[in-house]
Chains A and B, each alone.
Chain A
Amino acid sequence: MGPEPTGRKWLALIYADPMGTAKLDAKQVRKRKRLALWILVGIAATVLTARAGLELAFTFRASRPGSEQSTQAQFERTRFVCVAALIRDVVPHDAAIYIDDEQPIDAVFWSQQLKEMAYPYGRLVHDSADADFELKLQSVPLDDDCHGIGVALVATR
């Protein structure tokens, strides 16, 4: 028995005989290949089940009823439906609407939401002088009918 091959000798061995089967008989080669295949099956099955199980478990945990994400989303949904109902209560179909981008609370959020609710129910105009209705949202105390949307619609004209 000589010394164990190290470093570059290992690399040379692997390069010349990647499966290490050169000195084995046919039965031993088959056995080694089966072992390698089972290792492949093991790794692949572990990766597959890990992805299938763990990620899904995290998603369930994050979105289950009562979680922070779920509660926040429910609040957003209720608020959205309330704003839509308010617009349709106040503004007639196909009216010219001007939406004030300078909203008192969370300007981008509300101006986007107003636009999404108003179009194509009404027509958007960019000058308040051309509008039949001007829409803006004002901060108000919680509204019992709309489960606390915290805003009210102001329509002028």
Chain B
Amino acid sequence: MTVVIGVVAVLVAVGFPMGWLMTRSTTLGLLLAPLVTGLVCSAAAIASTVTGAPLLPWVVFIAIVGTCACWWQEPQLSALPIRPTHLCGIIAIAAPLIALYQFTSVGWDARSIWWFHAEWFRAGGAKVAEAMTEPSFRYSHADYPPLASATIATVAAVLGQGLESRVAQAVSFVMSFAALILMAVSLTWVVRARTPLLVWATVVVAGLFALGAAGFEASGLSDGYVDNLWSAWFVLAALLLLLHPYSRSAVLLGSLALAAAVLTKNEAFPIALVLVVLATIRHRRHLRHSWFIAIPIGLGIVWQVLARIEGAQSDLQGGGHIVGLVTGDPAVIGRIGPTLGRMFADIGWFAAASIVVSVLGMLLTVSVRRWLGVGLDVWFWALFVASLGMLVIAFAVSPYNLVWHLGTALNRTTVHCETLLLALVSVNLLLALHRLLVPPPSKPASAHSSRSNGVEDTSIIAREV
């Protein structure tokens, strides 16, 4: 327990000042702290690797510069409020996940990838560069992004301990749990409740959403893997960029969450590109005020280029069959069918149920969707299909035995796809409840225009959320 308190203290100390300055809200500032800390540690890891210098001085420097920049700016996320009681309600429903932390054991990849890289970062940029070129570490995916490992390294360094597994495990759990809760809270921003009954219904649905999203790979919250972590940030970004009515605050937080996802795992990069393209199309009229939507892609490119310059190789580069896919090699094409079969067996019924909910939702909640300015489910379906397509390609060109690779990785790598579907189900459930419990407005057209023209509707939010 002492370790968890120490870990929370470090994550809050680094990330809370910037979180609070961006939101002017203690509750949301605390919830954002792990995300902000992760981004600061990632930036520090990149700077440390480039300069060959130790990590911790860079973390301190970037945290101070970031805090000064946020102080100088106006609060950027003030249109996304959450009351402490509602947040406590969501956490209370998701509380069984906290109990899992006591039971879950450490996963193999946690040691051989994320915590091993944390040792590199803790030893400084020179050691990171040396490790990336070390051929005998290729099994460790030396090109994987730095967020999770650099954050673990920073916390371990600040706590003044060696890189003990209980510290690393606690960092993984606190980061993942906070990301999951932040993603659930975003439901309350997408479907803004207008009566007390609906507010508490939203809290319950958000809590179940967090619980269900973790359920796809619940041990992944605390076994040291990062699939739940990047998936939560990715779906948070998707909710804010594709379903939330346009607001600068939503686009900014969505961009920060997407940047964190991209800096957490390689798989996030191509699908983040698709999300940015979809969001750019949706918000094409507001791009002048939302240029930062491209930052996640820029950061992803920076890390990939840096890793290649330092000599790291991805497993697909090392022995993948990308050329075979392009030339139509039957051995590669033949892997697509079994991959689709396993995917269908794993998530087929859930995808079918989600399609039913989504179609019914699109037919029955048109007016309330328009009134609240909520985006169409079609955006999410496009993202889901693109995600599945990329996974199929990745398994097809993978250098590993297909049966082994699907058996060890499919559950984890489809977490973001399933979470996207669960988000759709939750949003449609809330919209239907909204339609049933709140009388429709007398002039929906004017209400819609005030929500969709980019003006922050903070007075309504402050009174009713």
Chain A residues proximal to chain B, CB less than 8 Å: 18-19, 33-34, 36-41, 43-45, 47-49, 51-56, 59-60, 62-65, 69-70, 72-74, 76-77, 80-81, 99, 112-113, 115-116, 119-120, 124, 126
Cβ distance B418 to chain A, nearest Cβ, rounded Å:
8
Closest B residue, CB atoms, query A71? B105
B428 adjacent to A70 (CB under 8 Å): no
Chain B residues proximal to chain A, CB less than 8 Å: 96-97, 99-100, 103-106, 108, 111-112, 116, 119-120, 123, 127, 130-131, 134, 136-137, 139-140, 165, 205, 208-209, 211-212, 214-216, 218-219, 350, 353-354, 356-357, 360-361, 363-365, 422, 425-426, 428-429, 432-433, 435-436
B120 adjacent to A43 (CB under 8 Å): no
With A48-B208, A74-B105, A116-B111 in contact, do A37 and B432 touch (Cβ < 8 Å)?
Answer: yes
15 A-B residue pairs with CB within 8 Å: A19-B363, A37-B432, A40-B357, A40-B428, A44-B428, A45-B429, A47-B425, A53-B211, A55-B216, A59-B215, A59-B218, A60-B218, A76-B105, A120-B120, A124-B134
With A55-B215, A77-B165, A112-B112 given, name 10 new contacts (CB 8 A).
A40-B428, A48-B205, A48-B426, A52-B209, A53-B211, A55-B216, A63-B100, A70-B105, A113-B111, A119-B137
B111 adjacent to A47 (CB under 8 Å): no
Cβ distance B412 to chain A, nearest Cβ, rounded Å:
13
B119 adjacent to A80 (CB under 8 Å): no
Contacts of B426 in A (CB 8 A): 44, 48
Q: How far is the CA of A36 from the CA of B366 in the complex (A)?
A: 13
With A51-B215, A59-B215 in contact, do A70 and B103 touch (Cβ < 8 Å)?
Answer: yes
Contacts of B131 in A (CB 8 A): 119-120
Q: How far is the CA of A33 from the CA of B39 in the complex (A)?
A: 47
Q: Is the interface of A mostly helix, strand, loop or mixed?
A: helix
A54 adjacent to B432 (CB under 8 Å): no
Q: How far is the CA of A41 from the CA of B435 in the complex (A)?
A: 11
Contacts of B106 in A (CB 8 A): 73, 76-77
B215 adjacent to A116 (CB under 8 Å): no
B103 adjacent to A56 (CB under 8 Å): no
Q: How far is the CA of A113 from the CA of B216 in the complex (A)?
A: 29
Which residue of B99, B104, B130, B360 is within 8 Å of A40 (Cβ)? B360
A116 adjacent to B116 (CB under 8 Å): yes
A112 adjacent to B360 (CB under 8 Å): no
Which residue of B112, B127, B205 is within 8 Å of A116 (Cβ)? B112
Cβ distance A80 to chain B, nearest Cβ, rounded Å:
7
Cβ distance A62 to chain B, nearest Cβ, rounded Å:
7
A47 adjacent to B354 (CB under 8 Å): yes
Closest A residue, CB atoms, query B165? A77
Which residue of B108, B350, B356 is within 8 Å of A43 (Cβ)? B356
Cβ distance B271 to chain A, nearest Cβ, rounded Å:
21
Contacts of A18 in B (CB 8 A): 363
Q: How far is the CA of A116 from the CA of B101 in the complex (A)?
A: 24
With A34-B436, A55-B216 in contact, do A63 and B104 touch (Cβ < 8 Å)?
Answer: yes
Cβ distance B370 to chain A, nearest Cβ, rounded Å:
16
B120 adjacent to A52 (CB under 8 Å): no
Q: How far is the CA of A38 from the CA of B87 in the complex (A)?
A: 27
Contacts of A113 in B (CB 8 A): 111
